[in-house]
Amino acid sequence: MVKHSRGNHLVFLITVGLLAWVVPGAGHYMLKEKKRAIIIFATIVLTFCIGLYVGSIGVINPADAKTWYLAQIMNSPMVAALGHLTTTAPENYLVFGKPNEIGQIYTGIAGLLNLLCIVNAVYLAHLCGTNRELTVKTPGKTGG
Amino acid sequence: MSLMCSLVMASITIPEKIGTDPQSMLWLLPLTAAIVVVYKATKLPTITLGTFVKETVVLLGSIVIFIIVIALVLFALAWLISG
């Protein structure tokens, strides 16, 4: 019974983490933290879009900028589709110099911010599960 | 609708023209604001409009002031060494 409960808790944590990765803020939304979710979604998507606007989608370059790509893909798995687009026709999306730098910094930092939010959402989900276990275990003490 | 779509596509497939002058560093200020907003969204125990805006402005202000102080110190050092 306990193992089953722990298994469910793990599945819950993984679901929250995956949701938070697929859509920024969705992990918090699942935990009924709607204000946090909206702020996180708006800020991360806006930051990522500014990066794309400044540097074009050429800043997502899985072939020549792998480290940046690792940070960028933390925004969402959908970034992989943009990466595929730029690697299949790199001559169409050439970007150099300052726009490339600023675009990479914006999109990379947006991804790292989403990573922070994923970790935060999973931690909050873990706390929710722990608190639920405590309230289930101690109803007799409170007279309920 | 197709014009709108074309405009959006054009804006993300052609890079902007940004020079290498010192003013281009100002592009990093909105990024700082974004970092502050997300950080505060994850750290505040309860989010209300007033508290959130106040905390965000205080943190962003302190970061900007610290950057200005560091810039002035570095500028003074460079002036002392080269001048």
Band (pLDDT 50/70/90 cuts) for residue A133 is: low
pLDDT of residue A139: 55
Q: Rounded distance, CA A104 to CA B60, Å? A: 22
Q: Rounded distance, CA A115 to CA B29, Å? A: 21
Contact between B15 and A99 under an 8 Å Cβ cutoff? The reply is yes
Read off the pLDDT of residues B5-55 as tens digits, 9 standing for 90 and up: 777 777 777 787 888 888 888 888 999 999 999 999 999 999 999 999 999
A87 pLDDT exceeds 70?
Answer: yes
* Residue A87 near chain B (CB below 8 Å): no
Taking an 8 Å cut-off on Cβ atoms, the answer to whether A113 and B20 are in contact is no
Please report how many Cα atoms fall inside a 13 Å half-sphere around the Cα of residue A44, on the Cβ side: 33
Closest CB from A98, A106, A117 relative to B38:
A117
* Residue A57 near chain B (CB below 8 Å): yes
pLDDT of residue A128: 82
pLDDT of residue A4: 57
pTM score: 0.86
The SS3 call for residue A82 is helix
Contact between A40 and A55 under an 8 Å Cβ cutoff? The reply is no
Phi, psi (deg, nearest 5) at residue A94: -80, 135
Of B58 and A57, which is predicted with more confidence? B58
